[in-house]
Structure 1
Amino acid sequence: MKKLLPALLLGAACFAAGAFVARPTAPDEITVPMLRTAQQLFGLNFSDAQLDSTRRNLSGYRDSYEALRKVALPNSVAPAVGFDPRPLRLRQAQLSDGGSAGRLPEPGKVKLPANRDDLAFYTVRQLGELLRFKLITSEDLTRFCLTRLKKYDPQLHCVITLTEDLAYQQARQADAEIQAGKYRGPLHGIPFGVKDLFSAKGYKTTWGSGPFKEQILDEDAAVVERLRAAGAVLCAKLTLGELAQGDVWFGGKTRTPWDVAKGSSGSSAGSASAVAAGLLPFAIGTETLGSIISPSTACGITGLRPTYGRVSRAGAMALSWTMDKAGPLARSAEDCAIVLAALTAAGPDARDPATMLAPNRFEYAFGTSVKKLRVGYIKKAFDQDYPTKANDLATLEVLRKLGVELVPLELPALSPGMLRFILTAEGAAAFDDLTRSGRDGQMVLQNRSAWPNTFRSSRFIPAVEYLQAQRVRSLLIEQMDAQLKGFDCYIAPTFSASLVLTNLTGHPAMALPNGLTAAGLPTTITFMGQLYEEGKLLALAKAYQDATSFDEKHPPLQ
């Protein structure tokens, strides 16, 4: 021991003097023995088979670390992470009472269809007018939706729990209020569903995952509360891919009604499928990295991902605190606006500090002339060859005919792809107990890309690298703001770099149906807006949908 001590002290001295430096040669291959040793530092005990899967992800992470280290980061750049030291009591003291959401355009006269089944594809606005003028009752409309949910769910696998008793109770209350002249607005008496990561008292909140399929949370999520205040009727808790990934959940795979042999994409899989099939007029989903935009595309509906912090996530499963967002999936931009107005009418929510960041509440801007909007388009993206290019170019031509001047726009130089591990690091933290307890083995998917392996891999992301990524995210936010200066909105192909970019910067985005493929499957294009400027974004989207009929198409259900 006496002979060993000087050697240890010498090693410590060399380390302190700066002997621990980055090697100029290529890094060693990541091996299972290496990870077996490393996990001991963190008190982990993954099997060799699990570590073998993990090491492949870690090689990709290491490439991201190398890319991040090439970005200049002066000390003045802070991480893009919010922190609010006020306790809930003090945050509540600062809440406002909400206010008016502006004005909707006149709806025109709406009649009951000759074929009752056609009600399935009426918009929220049309159904609202039927209810307002007492041409149909909420109870009848609710029964109609519940019947369709029961009829088509065996094909689509889009429902986890029907909230039937609650739905009839709320529908009868809505009818009584409307009959008494106490009309709450365009959502009064309208059936809807929520992605089953939002809690609802008295019902299971499964998060789509086997380990949580019996979970009951004794609270209503903020979106459930606020839609109830608007008079809407909760009919179902809808499927999501396990823990908000993909379209596979503990009960199977959710299908798109356009082709039931195909999945509806994820993770707001059930919300998109149910709306597209005419089972519900609208539903609420969430997005962290594409979970509203992607299923809206697979199912051919209109999906709105609002600005980060615009809609309260209280009572929702957290996957990534700095990236999760909640928003509506519906038939049209106008419907999305109606739902967003209800979700934000009460103002900020002290339970979700991100809502405290919004400088104003959402207001309709449908009176805006789209000819006066400055609209960009990512020319480089549209110039590339990709499967839906013809439909996308046709969309740009429609906008030009409406008098919209499309200005070529470039995205920030920083690549958003190297920041994707922010999500997985936060997700691994959110489900730390699931991973360490081994209950992740109860999840359906166990491949290298599924959450169990991703969460294990993310345990090896150094805290320093996570914070460096958040600092680079701050630079990305500033670059995005500079690029969008003077623009009201911009347009990009749906599955372009903008999807990851805007999820990191928090900008709002909409997926709008714009045609069909040769195989008869729907396509979408994506409109993006400035932070907290959903009003202008929705005005542009409505103008496009008024000039086209893609949002009125629906699948031929068997």
Structure 2
Amino acid sequence: MNKIYKSLALGVACFISGAFVSRVADDKVTVAVLQDAQKLMGLHFSDAKLDSTLSEIADFKESYEAIRKVPLPNEVAPALVFNPIPVGYQFEQQKIPFEVARPAKVKLPKNRDELAFYSVPQLAELVRKQQITSEELTKFFLARLKKYGPTLECVTTLTEELALQQARQADQEIKAGKYKGMLHGIPFGVKDLLATRKYKTTWGATPYKDQLIDKDATVVQRLQDAGGVLVAKTTLGALAMGDVWYGGKTRSPWDITQGSSGSSAGSAAAVAAGLLPYAIGTETLGSIVSPSTACGTTGLRPTFGRVSRDGAMALSWSMDKIGPIARSAEDCAIVFNAIYGPDGKDQSVYDAPFNYNPNIDVKKLRVGYLKNDFGGEYGFKKNDEATLETLRKAGVELVPLELPELPASALTLTISVEGAAAFDELTRSGRDSLLVAQHKNAWPNYFRAARFVPAVEYLQAQRVRTLLVQKMQEKLKDVDVYISPSFASSNLVVTNLTGHPCVVLPNGFQENGMPTTITFMGKLFGEAELLSFARFYQGLTDHEEKHPNLNFGKKKKS
């Protein structure tokens, strides 16, 4: 118990030894130092009380030094695992086989460039019926990546040798009647924070641009087990923030003077430009939603605890999520079906079924919408209103809904604190100066500032987060799906903290020609209903079928 009491004092002075300022381990901590320290935390202990903590704090400093001598690579997770499941929640018990209808009468187009924007089922049917080989399809997408990738700055590594090997193997298996399903022989890309054997995993950041992690992330392995062909590692903003990486700035194919946003920048840009049929992204706080909006793609952010993060760069162990970016909701469902579920490595993953039914009667779904968020004035309100009206005309009743009233934005310190722990060595070694972005709101500064967050306040934030999880369950007890503007930061923050899934999908364009999206939210582990609902909406519109003109001309610099 003595250790527990010591942790209380840690809240007052943890930053002293944690800060990267020019202090050495044997600097003496005095009452005067602690007087200044407690001002940062809004504490008001008397001098006598502070004096009584001095010996304990000295012990803590020794503990810090001992802990820092233990090698802690990014892949080592804390012993604490975030639990998104509210009290009283129950999983579905039955698991239904996954089925998606095969498109009828798909033919190889005379203009091969049209393949760039075929759906996964369309490409799958061409490959299954051997109208085109996986090797031919792979070479087609590799050629597009080589042609347009440099302009969009969306690729860190082409995995060409591996891709051709996997494609030839797929052709042999399909020819022998060993067809594995719709992803068999289909090229794909992964965000370059997922480990790939024999190819660099750069995390988009200069300090790691030559990093080799000799393993395949679980997601990569599962897609390859499904017969997928890995053709590219796609860019991400350095250490999963924004669209600026060590090689440049990833561009939106709709306007290359504008960035693709991030951090799943390259995945969204490459899919939107028809350089990949689908790609894998990740999200901690908007990293699938935001680039999908900038690039006009459909993205799925699954429930926290759905997809293993083994082999993925950790930024926030309690908030990181992995999901597909593709052309349509159904494409996302096909990819998600291949990657979800426990792997025995990531202890946060739950064994819950994904019972996708593309023919669900969506009129029986209880659909909410964030009335207040749609009520204000914003740039693409007309597109969002048109989405709501389209659904109403299709017979969907929309019920007003509001989010819990808790200070969710204050809880985002979670990312800074966990990120600072994940990149502790980078900060203390000073190598954070190698990152391209060094402005006030860049990672180096966030990681340094996080050293001043007391452990007590971090844990208090997680306790408030528990309340948020429970209150969201209460809010959604009578709703299967709800709709939010993609720009609504309150919804983005709340649901990334609670772990709820979302599908972001295109719903029009701004006056400047850039795409807009709308966000459909699901209940925890409710990806099946969510994706079915998104598929229904996309069946009413053709927004996902619009594609950018790739006659870029000379690349303009922002």
CA deviations on 1:16-37 (whole Å, 9 max, x unpaired) are xxxx9xxxxxxxxxxxxxx9x9
2:21 to 45, 51, 63: 45
1:246 to 237, 242, 245: 242
- 1:214 is matched with 210
1 CA distance for matches of 2:480 and 2:115? 35
CA deviations on 1:442-464 (whole Å, 9 max, x unpaired) are 11010010000110000000000
Tell me, what secondary structure is at the counterpart of 1:243? coil
Alignment pair present for 1:372 and 2:348: no
1:552 to 533, 537, 545: 545
Question: TM-score, with normalisation over the residues of structure 1?
Answer: 0.83
Percent identity, aligned pairs only?
61
1 CA distance for matches of 2:79 and 2:520? 27
2 CA distance for matches of 1:258 and 1:62? 46
1:158 to 154, 170, 189: 154
- Assess, with a 3 A threshold, how the Cα gap between structure 1 residues 84 and 38 changes in structure 2: closer, same or farther: closer
CA RMSD, Structure 1 to Structure 2 (Å)? 2.2
User: What amino acid is aligned across from residue 314 of structure 1 in structure 2?
Assistant: D
Tell me, what secondary structure is at the counterpart of 1:189? coil
* C-alpha displacement of 1:277: 0.4
User: What amino acid is aligned across from residue 232 of structure 2 in structure 1?
Assistant: A
* C-alpha displacement of 1:361: 2.5
User: What amino acid is aligned across from residue 511 of structure 1 in structure 2?
Assistant: V
- 2:260 is matched with 264
Map of 1:177-256 to 2, 5 A cutoff? 177-256=173-252
2:309 to 301, 313, 323: 313
2 CA distance for matches of 1:415 and 1:380? 17
- 1:407 is matched with 399
- 1:340 is matched with 336
Map of 1:382-531 to 2, 5 A cutoff? 382-496=374-488, 497-531=490-524
- 2:34 is matched with none
* C-alpha displacement of 1:101: 4.0
1 CA distance for matches of 2:322 and 2:414? 19
User: What amino acid is aligned across from residue 300 of structure 1 in structure 2?
Assistant: G
Tell me, what secondary structure is at the counterpart of 1:353? coil
* C-alpha displacement of 1:39: 5.3
2 CA distance for matches of 1:125 and 1:236? 21
* C-alpha displacement of 1:109: 2.3
Question: CA contact under 8 A between 1:341 and 1:363: conserved in structure 2?
Answer: no
2:348 to 340, 351, 354: 354
2 CA distance for matches of 1:296 and 1:229? 27
- Assess, with a 3 A threshold, how the Cα gap between structure 1 residues 216 and 99 changes in structure 2: closer, same or farther: farther
2 CA distance for matches of 1:138 and 1:322? 38
* C-alpha displacement of 1:114: 2.1
Tell me, what secondary structure is at the counterpart of 2:348? helix
* C-alpha displacement of 1:504: 0.3
Count of equivalent residues? 481
1 CA distance for matches of 2:369 and 2:545? 25
* C-alpha displacement of 1:44: 3.1
- Assess, with a 3 A threshold, how the Cα gap between structure 1 residues 101 and 222 changes in structure 2: closer, same or farther: farther
Tell me, what secondary structure is at the counterpart of 2:236? coil
2:530 to 528, 534, 537: 537
1 CA distance for matches of 2:198 and 2:224? 15
* C-alpha displacement of 1:102: 2.2
2 CA distance for matches of 1:403 and 1:548? 15
* C-alpha displacement of 1:363: 2.4
- 2:66 is matched with none
1 CA distance for matches of 2:271 and 2:506? 13
- Assess, with a 3 A threshold, how the Cα gap between structure 1 residues 106 and 130 changes in structure 2: closer, same or farther: closer
* C-alpha displacement of 1:376: 0.2
1:105 to 90, 101, 104: 101
2 CA distance for matches of 1:198 and 1:41? 33
Question: CA contact under 8 A between 2:81 and 2:318: conserved in structure 1?
Answer: no
2 CA distance for matches of 1:136 and 1:479? 52
Question: CA contact under 8 A between 2:14 and 2:454: conserved in structure 1?
Answer: no
CA deviations on 1:206-250 (whole Å, 9 max, x unpaired) are 000000011000100001100011101000001000000000000
Tell me, what secondary structure is at the counterpart of 1:420? helix
1 CA distance for matches of 2:96 and 2:366? 26
Alignment pair present for 1:149 and 2:149: no
Question: CA contact under 8 A between 1:39 and 1:45: conserved in structure 2?
Answer: no
1 CA distance for matches of 2:280 and 2:97? 19
Map of 1:22-33 to 2, 5 A cutoff? none
User: What amino acid is aligned across from residue 455 of structure 1 in structure 2?
Assistant: F
User: What amino acid is aligned across from residue 535 of structure 2 in structure 1?
Assistant: K
1 CA distance for matches of 2:355 and 2:290? 26
Alignment pair present for 1:273 and 2:265: no
Runs (4+) of structure 1 exceeding 6 A deviation are none
CA deviations on 1:90-113 (whole Å, 9 max, x unpaired) are xxxxxxxx9764221342221111
2 CA distance for matches of 1:249 and 1:461? 28
- 1:130 is matched with 126
User: What amino acid is aligned across from residue 452 of structure 1 in structure 2?
Assistant: P
- Assess, with a 3 A threshold, how the Cα gap between structure 1 residues 189 and 411 changes in structure 2: closer, same or farther: same
2 CA distance for matches of 1:101 and 1:195? 29
- Assess, with a 3 A threshold, how the Cα gap between structure 1 residues 99 and 161 changes in structure 2: closer, same or farther: farther
- 2:278 is matched with 282
CA deviations on 1:154-194 (whole Å, 9 max, x unpaired) are 21000000000000000000011111111100000000000
2 CA distance for matches of 1:528 and 1:82? 30
CA deviations on 1:29-69 (whole Å, 9 max, x unpaired) are xxxxxx9x99544363269xxxxxxxxxx99x969xxxxxx
- Assess, with a 3 A threshold, how the Cα gap between structure 1 residues 174 and 215 changes in structure 2: closer, same or farther: same
User: What amino acid is aligned across from residue 409 of structure 1 in structure 2?
Assistant: L
Q: Which moved more, 1:410-419 or 1:275-284?
A: 410-419
* C-alpha displacement of 1:366: 1.4
User: What amino acid is aligned across from residue 447 of structure 2 in structure 1?
Assistant: F
User: What amino acid is aligned across from residue 534 of structure 2 in structure 1?
Assistant: A
2 CA distance for matches of 1:532 and 1:276? 27
- Assess, with a 3 A threshold, how the Cα gap between structure 1 residues 39 and 478 changes in structure 2: closer, same or farther: closer
Question: CA contact under 8 A between 2:102 and 2:121: conserved in structure 1?
Answer: no
1 CA distance for matches of 2:115 and 2:22? 53
User: What amino acid is aligned across from residue 532 of structure 2 in structure 1?
Assistant: A
Question: CA contact under 8 A between 1:311 and 1:325: conserved in structure 2?
Answer: yes
Unaligned runs of 5+ in 2: 1-8, 24-36, 43-77, 83-93, 552-558
2 CA distance for matches of 1:112 and 1:364? 29
Unaligned runs of 5+ in 1: 1-19, 21-34, 48-57, 64-80, 86-97
CA deviations on 1:116-140 (whole Å, 9 max, x unpaired) are 1010011111101111111111000
- Assess, with a 3 A threshold, how the Cα gap between structure 1 residues 232 and 41 changes in structure 2: closer, same or farther: closer
User: What amino acid is aligned across from residue 443 of structure 1 in structure 2?
Assistant: L
